[in-house]
Amino acid sequence: MAKYIFVTGGVVSSLGKGISAASLGKLLETRGLKVTLIKCDPYLNVDAGTMNPYQHGEVYVTDDGAETDLDLGHYERFTHAKLTNANNITTGKIYYSVITKERKGDYLGKCVQIIPHITDEIKDSIKRVAHQQNVDVVIVEIGGTVGDIESLPFLEAIRQLKLELGRDYAINIHVTLVPYIRAAGEIKTKPTQHSVGTLREIGIMPDIIICRTEKELNKESREKIALFCNVDKEAVIPALDVKSIYEVPQMLHEEGLDRLAVRLLNLKCEEKELTEWNTAVVKVVRSPSKEVPIAVVGKYIAHQDAYKSIYEALSHGGIANDARLIIKKVDSEDIEKHGVVKYLGDVKGVLVPGGFGHRGIEGKIAAIQYSREKKIPFFGICLGMQTAVIEFARNVCALTKANSTEFDKATKFPVISLLEEQKKIKDMGASMRLGLYECAIAKGSKAYQAYRKEKIQERHRHRYEFNNKFKEAFQKAGMVFSGTYPKGELAEIVELRDHPWFVGCQFHPEFKSKPDNAHPLFREFINAAVCAKYGC
Ligand code: GLN
């Protein structure tokens, strides 16, 4: 039977609960345990797919095409857990299921209530994952901050679950903030005490408290938290700010987190060091031998989390090439206002990520034209590939005002357009081309050089496609179609022959990249950028 670790957060949001959960997953996996992770999100959206990245950060996509919270990205980057739609439980999904059952009459005349019907549905959804994925440990992260109205049913459900499972089968970890008050020159434990107090009011006693701090947690503060929050001293785990998130597993290990969790859950496994991870990832992150400036040209640049997996995958490409990346975040609308040279004049690689809607498109196209003409390594992802196609149509094939029908329905040259089946769709939720699709790679291409395989599978999230009516003309003009979806002849990867590295892909490779195993396209893109700076 699986054992459960429930992770809650207190004091403020953005404490890195997801990174803490993912790091613990990594530590337990290193000890030979099979883990999975679940994120519970208290909002009413059924999934993150209908939310603007400004609201919620990036929408992460799993193999099975679920549009999820970005914490699932951390889970997959840190561990080998294979996550599915079931690993992201939202209030929307829970209510949808309960109301559907109620309409069918499944509750046999009962009054349907938050307790027990909603809480039972949450418990069943959690247990189902543990059962289906056949794991030793399930780490369940509850989104939001303790004290929020929205997360109460989730907290009540995990309270009941722990009670039902009994000793040795479930523990609670609470992640809090221990702020440093500069004027007083002190760190303060009171917010943590209050937050644990709120948790206790709803019947949950934490077994471990992870304290995020910017200053060392001294012995006195540690003892104070232990005393007032009713935990052992060794269960107060300091988590100091670190430069890279990939240093967190080692830090938590040194503070004894995995040893304690394993003991409390009575798990049978050996104590293990994170040697491989530390050598392959942390060492390179700390002292790489090279440094390259890379521009990311998008429209959600101002939001830290909107391109989360893109930034992570870029850093993995850096790790694979022993290089630190200086990421220049460029708002494509600024390029429209002030020209491209000001922003891209000194970079060695340009990446245009995915996106939706018309705003900022012309700036992206200008960035792509500049990269193509100046032979700067270029990587276009999803909308980034589509805009590369538009740029090529306009400036190489002389198809004036060519566009995607997403931005100009009446364009004379619809080089990107909707597939017939997408035209019929009315509901916006979960209706894009989503999840894993196969792609055949052409030998002799840059894509093949990266993958070294003829068949690959990548994750998708888009509605529009390259319009094959233009394929021949594009090929004649020098565009190579190096990746194709075999069943529908859809263009999945395009590249340019006479350019050091110019690749666009319709899928999202960033979702499958790992710090210790960079995605091949990110690895090669950064390799090209390193070559542009240092020579090859
Ligand atoms: N808006 C484009 C489409 O729907 C691109 C989507 C994306 O970049 N994820 O096809």
What does the pLDDT look like over 206-253, one tens digit per residue?
Answer: 999 999 999 999 999 999 999 999 999 999 999 999 999 999 999 999
Concatenating the DSSP letter of every residue in 211-255 gives EEESS---HHHHHHHHHHHT--GGGEEEEE--SSGGGHHHHHHHT
Residues with CB under 6 A from ligand 1: 354-356, 382-383, 406, 461-464
Residue type, 437: Y
pLDDT, mean of residues 393-419: 96
Q: Residue 225: what pLDDT?
A: 95
| Ligand 1 atom at shortest distance from the alpha carbon of 406 | 1
Q: How far is residue 254's CA from residue 267's CA, in Å, rounded to a whole number?
A: 19
Q: How far is residue 178's CA from residue 160's CA, in Å, rounded to a whole number?
A: 29
Q: Residue 15: what pLDDT?
A: 86
**Residues taking part in catalysis:** 382, 508, 510
Counting residues of the chain whose pLDDT is more than 90, the rounded percentage is: 91
Q: What is the mean pLDDT of the chain?
A: 95
Q: Residue 351: what pLDDT?
A: 98
Express each pLDDT in 149-182 by its tens digit. Answer: 999 999 999 999 999 998 899 999 999 999 999 9
Mutate which of 67, 356, 421, 505 for ligand 1? The one with the most ligand atoms within 8 Å of its CB, which is 356
Q: How far is the CA of 313 from the centre of ligand 1 (A)?
A: 19
420, pLDDT greater than 80: no
480, pLDDT greater than 90: yes
Q: How far is the CA of 295 from the centre of ligand 1 (A)?
A: 20
Express each pLDDT in 107-146 by its tens digit. Answer: 989 999 999 999 999 999 999 999 999 999 999 999 999 9
Express each pLDDT in 21-75 by its tens digit. Answer: 999 999 999 999 999 999 999 999 999 999 988 888 999 999 999 999 999 999 9
Q: How far is residue 474's CA from residue 396's CA, in Å, rounded to a whole number?
A: 9
Better-scored residue on pLDDT, 98 or 424: 98
Mutate which of 307, 463, 465 for ligand 1? The one with the most ligand atoms within 8 Å of its CB, which is 463
Report which DSSP code applies to 1. Answer: -
The protein residue whose alpha carbon is closest to atom 8 in ligand 1 is: 354
| Ligand 1 atom at shortest distance from the alpha carbon of 432 | 4
